[in-house]
Structure 1
Amino acid sequence: MAESVAFDVNGIPGETNDIASRLFVPCDLPDPLRELSDKVWLRADTSYSVNIRRPKGDQTSKDRQTAFAYLMTRRVTEALGCENKPLEKAPVVKPAPTP
């Protein structure tokens, strides 16, 4: 994603910009897929067409979009049956530390 900002939501890493957010979520699937699920992460991409033609958004907008992506991805993890419930908590968006 162009001009993305790294962030953390309750320990879940991701990145966001003015028109999209991406989350990387560990999902422990039930047997017989448990062993395979240890080797992959669920990647959730969310785009926001409402901001395409607007000037660069502020951090509050990016945080709100990121929280929305987190909540929608929570539904996916519930539907998949992720036993570790990776998105169970209410979203708290924090900028990721810079390396």
Structure 2
Amino acid sequence: MGAIAFSAISCTTTEPPSQAKDRLCEISEGSAEEALLHRTLAARSYDTEWLHRDRDFSERMQDMLRHSSTPSTPRVESCGFAPRDQQSNARDVVIHFSWTPRVDPSKHPRLKERTYYELGNSFGESSDAFTELRTPCTIPGDLRTKSEERFLHAKATYSADLDAAPDTTMRNEQVSFLYLMARRATNALGCEGNPLKADPVAKPIATSSHTSAPEGTKR
């Protein structure tokens, strides 16, 4: 991953003092998440919106899993990040989570507009418009069976495509940032075995063939 350098970096958050111990959206100064977020936003400073506290997030995700009659569930938004300095290519980022069927991602068509990743037992893909990560998250207790049948699905969506041509380094960083944010979700949910404990190593999967995106499909 290339060096990331910014000066006069600052941020603000919208969470009240009672949320100070929550970790779902907290970005520590000097952390890997901070450096990756600045690159993803294309901005030196940003504001954070806490869309769910850790406990609320965990309860809602578990309730959806417990009561779902379908393999996939609606998404739960967790965090929003918005550039404070409006540069020409700056963009907002929103992170949300859902449950999806635990099927082998390699069985799905791979589109040439996207870059694909394997990160341990997790699977990622990234484009100019979004990044996704699917990871096993077995929850002990009454949710064990249902959680073993599904992936925890993390997704970051961006308010605008970057002006530049597709950049593999940028996509690597987008996947790495989402991985680190998904780690917080697995901690909040109590996923068995800390599935995202290892640091992310984002290396694109070499593919010999791709499929063009269907008409109307967003990259």
- The question of a shared fold, defined as TM-score above 0.5 by the shorter chain, is answered with yes
Does 1:64 pair with 2:159?
no
Runs of 4+ in 1 over 4 A off after TM superposition: none
Structure index of larger Rg = 2
Higher relative contact order (CA 8 A, sep 6+): 1
Identity over aligned residues, as a percent? 38
Unaligned runs of 5+ in 2: 1-110, 209-219
Instruction: Give the corresponding residue for 1:47.
Output: 157
Q: Aligned partners of 1:11, 1:26: CA distance in 2, in Å?
A: 7
- Once the two structures are TM-superposed, the CA of residue 2 in structure 1 deviates from its matched residue by 8.2
- Once the two structures are TM-superposed, the CA of residue 29 in structure 1 deviates from its matched residue by 0.2
Given residue 178 of structure 2, which amino acid in structure 1 is its aligned partner? A
User: Which of 188, 202, 207 is matched with 1:98 structurally?
Assistant: 207
In structure 2, the CA distance between the partners of 1:28 and 1:19, relative to structure 1 (3 Å rule), is same
Does 1:73 pair with 2:191?
no
Normalising by structure 1, what TM-score?
Answer: 0.86
Does 1:34 pair with 2:155?
no
* Aligned-residue CA RMSD (Å): 1.9
Instruction: Give the corresponding residue for 1:21.
Output: 131
Does the 8 Å CA contact 1:78/1:85 hold for their aligned counterparts? yes
Higher mean C-alpha deviation, range 26-35 or range 9-18: 9-18
How many pairs does the alignment contain? 98
Normalising by structure 2, what TM-score?
Answer: 0.41
